Structure 1
Amino acid sequence: MRITHLGHACLLVESAGTRLLIDPGTFADDLTGVRDLDAVLVTHQHPDHLDLDRVPALLGANPRALVLADPGSVEALAGAGIEAQGHDGPTRVGEVTVTPVGEVHALIHDDVPRIPNVGVRLDADGEPSLFHPGDALDADPGPVDVLAFPLQAPWARSRDMTAFLRRHAAPHAVPVHDGLLQPRGRALYLGQAGQLGSPDTRIHDLAGAGATEFRAGE
């Protein structure tokens, strides 16, 4: 499996010859060069996870890509003239099984209505498993090899982030949802993730690192 962090919550995952893009939002990097996608996966409809202005061009450059999304994003995409498939249990995309995990976005504030949020677990024979939670920390994907974890968010405290890492204790973890952080703050949160998260987890900061390989059993 190769993972490229394309800014904030957006990950390009290449597994078993299948290319999947997760959460192409407004804080993601330039996506014009992203090609040969088998699927675009959207966890929820917030703009930092779903950029309705850029998605049409992204899909135009990837005409065979399946769009798989939570119920709220399916509706939002339909309003933009884009057909998306809602989750109905595990979905096979190439050699990868995409399993939906979770239902509701984390609480931001009592005055802000909660929306659907569906994290995604990715599995393929001979490849590491990965879980991207979107904007929630309460879902249970089961044991995974690589855990994408929100580094900072208006809806989470740092102790929630480190508790999430401890609860899952994955061998590897990749920080996402970092688009609101300036460098000093980002370093602080990364330090907390490493020092106060799970001792069994290795943190891989993929920001600016390009495609990074993960192997099953390592």
Structure 2
Amino acid sequence: MKMTLLALLLATTCAAVPVFAFEKDVIETSAGPLEITFIGHGSLMFRYDGEVIQVDPYSKLADYAGFPKADLVLLTHEHQDHLDPQALRKVRGDQTAMILTQRCAEKIGEGMVMQNGDARKVAGIRIEAVPAYNIVHKRESGEPFHPKGAGNGYVLTFGDKRVYIAGDTENIPEMSELKAIDVAFLPMNLPYTMTPEMVADAALRFHPKVLYPYHYGETDPSRLTYLLRNHPEVEVRIRSMK
């Protein structure tokens, strides 16, 4: 009996966090509210106009069985903390659309592939695939952690608001071409993506109105707030996105 109770306690303690426990923000758009759920790491959920959108769902962060079925899933690249078959099985329904990269499609054998520069409308939402890659941070072999052309960032249009989900990237030159970004999610985990200084530089290339550092691991996000202290046009919002 004691062993049964202990096993139950351990299972409960180790279980992924349920959906209601996560922080949420609401962004007002011309077509109604956009609700953002901050699941953690690189994982986000959006609710908009009756649609549910999952970005890089990852089972270690949440019990996705407790989430509503997604109308749209976005995968930024093929690494296991962004492409998680177990989480995908739980969030997808019969009508779920899935946008992903070529490498992701090769791993799971399905989905709508978007290359850098592609644009399309899915579930009533305009989606633009933009580059996401490393220039500085590389493996011991000299290969970038995220090679150019392999991963996607996404710009989503919700009414009059444009939301940029950068994926795993550095402050690449293409960020200077981003226009009218209202909300941006920029990664800040080392050694795979950006330092706070790189994120600050990226933000000052395209000036999002709201900036969320995400996928930041053990990096202190308050450093970014300090770096952008003299730029009130960029509102830095810190949420639990380790």
Q: In structure 2, what is the equivalent of residue 118 of structure 1?
A: 152
CA distance in 2, matches of 1:48, 1:26: 9
- Any residues of structure 2 matched to 1:88-167 within 5 Å, and which? 89-102=118-131, 104-107=132-135, 108-109=137-138, 111=141, 112=143, 114-115=146-147, 116-126=150-160, 128-136=161-169, 137-138=171-172, 139-140=174-175, 141-155=178-192, 156-167=194-205
After superposing the two structures, state which structure 1 stretch, 15-24 or 128-137, moved more. Answer: 15-24
- 1:69 and 2:69 aligned: no
Q: In structure 1, what is the equivalent of residue 3 of structure 2?
A: none
CA distance in 2, matches of 1:17, 1:99: 21
Residues 47, 26 of structure 1: alpha-carbon distance in 2 compared, 3 angstrom cutoff: farther
Q: Identify the structure with the greater helix proportion.
A: 2
Decide whether the 8 Å contact of 2:72 with 2:123 is kept in 1.
Answer: no
3-state SS in 2 of match to 1:56: helix
CA distance in 1, matches of 2:151, 2:59: 17
Residues 65, 203 of structure 1: alpha-carbon distance in 2 compared, 3 angstrom cutoff: same
* Greater Cα radius of gyration, structure 1 or 2: 2
Letter in 2 for 1:109: K
> Residue by residue, what CA displacement relative to the aligned partner does 1:50-102 show, whole Å, maximum 9, x if unpaired?
1123322332xx22111110111111111xxxx21101622212221111111
Cα offset for 1:207?
Answer: 2.4
- 1:177 and 2:215 aligned: yes
Can you give the 5+ residue segments of structure 1 that lack an aligned partner in the other structure?
Answer: 209-218
Instruction: Give TM-score, length-normalised by structure 2.
Output: 0.72
Cα offset for 1:124?
Answer: 2.6
RMSD: 2.1
Q: Identify the structure with the greater strand proportion.
A: 2
Decide whether the 8 Å contact of 1:18 with 1:93 is kept in 2.
Answer: no
Decide whether the 8 Å contact of 1:44 with 1:72 is kept in 2.
Answer: yes
Deviating above 4 A after TM superposition, structure 1's stretches of 4 or more consecutive aligned residues are none
Instruction: Give TM-score, length-normalised by structure 1.
Output: 0.79
- State, as a whole percentage, how many aligned pairs show the same letter: 20
The alignment covers a number of residue pairs equal to: 193
CA distance in 2, matches of 1:206, 1:67: 26
CA distance in 2, matches of 1:28, 1:176: 14
Cα offset for 1:118?
Answer: 0.6
Match of 2:114 among 66, 87, 92: 87
Decide whether the 8 Å contact of 1:43 with 1:134 is kept in 2.
Answer: yes
After superposing the two structures, state which structure 1 stretch, 41-50 or 25-34, moved more. Answer: 25-34
Q: In structure 2, what is the equivalent of residue 22 of structure 1?
A: 55
Q: Which has the higher contact order (CA 8 A, sep 6+)?
A: 1
